[in-house]
Amino acid sequence: MHAVDLAHPVDYEGWRAAARRLVLADARPESVDWRVGPQTGLFGDPSAVPAIPAVSRNREFSVPRDFLDLAETITCHRDPARFALLYSLLWRLTHGEPKLLDIVSDREVSRAEAMARAIRRDIHKMHAFVRFREREGHYLAWFEPDHFIVERAAPFFARRFANMDWSILTPDRSVHWDGETLHFTPGASKADVPDDDALEDYWRSYYSSIFNPARLKIEAMKSEMPRKYWHNLPEARMIRPLIRDAGRRVAEMAERGATSPSPKSERWALATVPEPTPESGLDNCRRCSLWRNATQAVPGEGPMGARLMLVGEQPGDQEDLAGRAFVGPAGQLLDRAMVDAGITRADCYVTNAVKHFKFTPRGKRRIHQKPDVSEVEHCRWWLTEEVAAVRPRLIVALGATAGRALLRRDVAVQRERGAILRLGGGGSLLLTVHPSYLLRLPDPAAKVLEYDKFVADLRTATTYAMSA
C-alpha cells in the first residue's frame, strides 16, 4: 500500500505529481491510499510528494488535455474519494483505454462528469447568491459553498466588482480584493459579517419590482434558488409574502384588463412608445408588432453570472404557450446534447434573439415564420440587457438569426461554426446550428452525424466557458 499525503483539499498539483510517479511505478489504484494532510492548517504550505518505490520501467506517458481539466475541476469536490477516482481513471487511460473519456456510459466516467457538473453548478450559485454588506467602506459577504470552489469563483468577483474593496468569507476559505490583487486566507465565521445595512433595502426593492405574480412557478424558483441559500439573501424574507399575495395581485391585474393599442399606424406607434426598461417588464414591450399575435413574451432564464449563455432564434409554439424558452422538441434535443457535452441547463442562461413567437396560421396549427431583420433589431435591446446582466464568458449563437443579432452582420453558420469569435463590445461567441435544424434532417445517418458535430460544438463552448 502506498500512502499519499496531499497538502490541502484542493492540492491538484500535489496529486498530479504523485499520480505521475505512481503510474510510472506500476502502482495499481487499489494499492494507493490518498489522504489530505497535514491537519494543522487547511491551506498550509504544500508538503513534498511522498516517497514512492523506484520506477519499475523507464517510460513516459501522455493523457488527453480534457482529463487534466477534468481532474483539476474534480479536485474541488468535497467527496473524500475524489483523488482515488481520478487516479483510477488515469490508470485506465494509460493501460489500454486511451478513449475512456468518450465512453459516457462508463460508471467512473459518469461519476467524474457528475462531480464536475456539481462544481460548475456550485460556482454559478456562488456567483448568483453572494450579497455584499458595507462596513466602514469595505464590503463583506458570507457564503456557504458545497465544495472547495473559492479560488475558482473569486476571479469573477474581481472582474465584476473591480472598484470595490471586498471580502467573501466562507467556512473553509476566504478571499479578499484590494482593487488590484486577490488574497486568500483561512475560513471564517458568519458572525464576522454584519447582519444588515442600507444595501439590503435596495435588494428587497429590486426583487419586489421584478417579481411577476402571473409568472410564478414555485418549484422552478426553488430549483433555481434552493432554500439552503435563503437565509443569506436579503430578498429571501420577501419570498413568502410575495407568494402569498400572488393570487390576489393576478386577480387585480385581470380586473384592470389590457391596455388597448393605439389605432394609429404601426410606424407612429413604434416611434412614440417610450424606450423600455427592465422595470417596465418584457410583457409591456411594443417595439415591434409581434406582440399582437403572440400569447406572451418569453424571457430568458438561468443563473445570473452563468459562464455560458445560449441564444436561439425565437420562441416556438410550445414556448409561446408555456412562457419558457426551449421547452419544445428543439429544447429537449438541446438538453440531451448539453448533457452529452458535459453541461446541463441549470449551468447556463438560455434565451432567444426575439422574445415573441412569429407564426403563420394554418388550420389549427401555427407554423413557425422566421423573424425579419427589423424585428431582430427591435428586440436586440432586450438581448443586450440580458448579456449585460449575465456577463457570460461565452455566448453560443444557435443559428443564423442569433448570430446576426449578436454580431450585427449576416453569418454563414456552416462556414463559421465552432470557432471562438470576438464580439464588438467585448466578450466571445461561438456559432453553431439551431437544434431545430437537426430535427428537420430527413436522412437518419446525416442526423446522427450532425448531432455529433453539434455536441462537439457545445463541448468546445463548455470547455472555453468553464476555463479560468
What CATH code is carried by the domain that includes residue 343? Answer: 3.40.470.10
Q: Among 128-137, 200-209, 223-232, 365-374, name the most confident range.
A: 365-374
Angle (CA) 101 117 417, round 5°: 70
Q: What per-residue string of b and e applies to 22-58 under the rule 16 or more CB within 10 Å gives b?
A: bbbeebebeebebebeeeeebbeeeeebbebeeeeee
Query: Phi and psi (nearest 5°) for 192?
Result: -80, -5
The sheet with strand 173-177 has its strands ordered as 133-135, 138-142, 166-169, 173-177, 182-186
The model's confidence at residue 269, banded by pLDDT at 50, 70 and 90, is: very low
What are the distances in angstroms from CA 436 to CA 373, 414, 440?
20, 15, 6
What region, left, alpha or beta, does residue 164 occupy, with left being phi > 0 and alpha being psi -120 to 50 degrees?
Answer: beta
Q: How far apart are CA 393 and CA 257, in angstroms?
A: 41
Q: Is there a single domain that holds both residue 292 and residue 437?
A: yes
Over the stretch 294-311, which tens digit does the pLDDT of each residue have?
A: 989 999 999 888 999 999
Containing H/E element for 406? helix 400-407
Looking at the domain assignment, is residue 200 inside a domain?
no
Residue 291 makes CB contacts below 8 A (sequence gap 6+) with 285, 297, 356
Q: Is there a single domain that holds both residue 154 and residue 46?
A: no
Percent of the chain with pLDDT over 90: 50
Containing H/E element for 311? strand 308-312
Q: Is there a single domain that holds both residue 97 and residue 135?
A: no
Looking at the domain assignment, is residue 225 inside a domain?
no
Give bridge partners of residue 313 from the DSSP assignment.
none
Q: Is there a single domain that holds both residue 372 and residue 423?
A: yes
Domain count, the chain: 3
Over the stretch 326-354, which tens digit does the pLDDT of each residue have?
A: 999 999 999 999 999 988 888 899 999 99
> What one-character DSSP code corresponds to residue 211?
-
Looking at the domain assignment, is residue 413 inside a domain?
yes
Least confident of 31-35, 42-46, 50-54, 107-111: 42-46
Q: How far apart are CA 88 and CA 84, in angstroms?
A: 6
Residue 388 makes CB contacts below 8 A (sequence gap 6+) with none
Query: What cell does 104 get?
Result: 459516457
Residue among 74, 10, 157 at smallest CA distance from 342: 74
The pLDDT of residue 209 is above 60 = no
Looking at the domain assignment, is residue 354 inside a domain?
yes
Over the stretch 240-260, which tens digit does the pLDDT of each residue have?
A: 665 566 666 556 655 555 444
Q: How far apart are CA 224 and CA 243, in angstroms?
A: 16
The burial class, CB within 10 Å (0-12 / 13-18 / 19+), for 403 is: buried
Q: Is there a single domain that holds both residue 295 and residue 405?
A: yes
* Residue scoring higher pLDDT (23 or 212): 23
Residue after which a domain boundary falls, among 171, 195, 219: 195
Q: Provide mean pLDDT across the span 69-88.
A: 96
Looking at the domain assignment, is residue 350 inside a domain?
yes
Looking at the domain assignment, is residue 264 inside a domain?
no
Q: Provide mean pLDDT across the span 433-438.
A: 95
CA 450 and chain centroid, separation:
25
The pLDDT of residue 178 is above 90 = no
- Please give the pLDDT value at position 241: 64
Side-chain-side CA neighbours of residue 411 (13 Å):
24
pTM metric for this prediction: 0.47
Q: How far apart are CA 32 and CA 3, in angstroms?
A: 6
Q: Is there a single domain that holds both residue 85 and residue 185?
A: no
Residue after which a domain boundary falls, among 166, 195, 224: 195
The model's confidence at residue 279, banded by pLDDT at 50, 70 and 90, is: very low
Q: How far apart are CA 464 and CA 453, in angstroms?
A: 17
> What one-character DSSP code corresponds to residue 283?
G
Query: What cell does 294 get?
Result: 403572440
- Please give the pLDDT value at position 376: 93
Q: Is there a single domain that holds both residue 116 and residue 139?
A: no
Entry field: residues in the chain: 468
Residue after which a domain boundary falls, among 195, 229, 245: 195
Q: Is there a single domain that holds both residue 69 and residue 178?
A: no
Q: Is there a single domain that holds both residue 170 and residue 60?
A: no
Q: Is there a single domain that holds both residue 75 and residue 109?
A: yes
Q: How far apart are CA 322 and CA 71, in angstroms?
A: 39
Query: What crossing angle do the helices spanning 107-129 and 150-160 adopt, rounded to 10°?
Result: 40
Percent of the chain with pLDDT over 70: 76
* Residue scoring higher pLDDT (313 or 254): 313
Range of the domain at 157: 130-195
Looking at the domain assignment, is residue 212 inside a domain?
no
Residue among 53, 88, 58, 96 at smallest CA distance from 70: 88
Residue among 279, 310, 458, 335 at smallest CA distance from 390: 310
The pLDDT of residue 319 is above 80 = yes
Q: Is there a single domain that holds both residue 145 and residue 53?
A: no
Q: Is there a single domain that holds both residue 58 and residue 41?
A: yes
Looking at the domain assignment, is residue 138 inside a domain?
yes
